[in-house]
Amino acid sequence: MTAFPLRIPDHVMSQARTAADEEKVSINQLLLSFIAEGIGHRRALQSMRERAKRGNVEAALAVLDMVPDVAPDEGDEMPEPSDNQGPAFGR
């Protein structure tokens, strides 16, 4: 394992201590998990960008055009938005 000195602003360190206490882990464990999670997130985004470059919008739309226009099965209907929600998906 490699040791790496890291300068962290006081307010961030304070928040990290609080979070570590809440999670009942050491600050080292907390920061390591955050770093690993961030790297994983970054890799996932890079992978999606690479896949998007290879995508064919016209082919995808052609596949969607083959989907029959029928009512959804019972229980698969879109929920109606309430007054305090934004527009329903697909509207």
Model pLDDT, residue 91: 46
DSSP 8-state assignment for residue 82: P
Encode the chain (91 residues) as per-residue pLDDT tens digits.
Answer: 899 999 999 999 999 999 999 999 999 999 999 999 999 999 999 999 999 999 999 999 999 999 999 999 999 999 888 766 665 555 4
Model pLDDT, residue 60: 93
d(CA 76, CA 24): 41
d(CA 91, CA 88): 6
Indicate the pTM of the whole model: 0.60
**Residue whose pair of structure tokens reads 């919008």 in the numeric block:** 57
Contact call for residues 80 and 88 (beta carbons, < 8 A):
yes
Model pLDDT, residue 80: 85
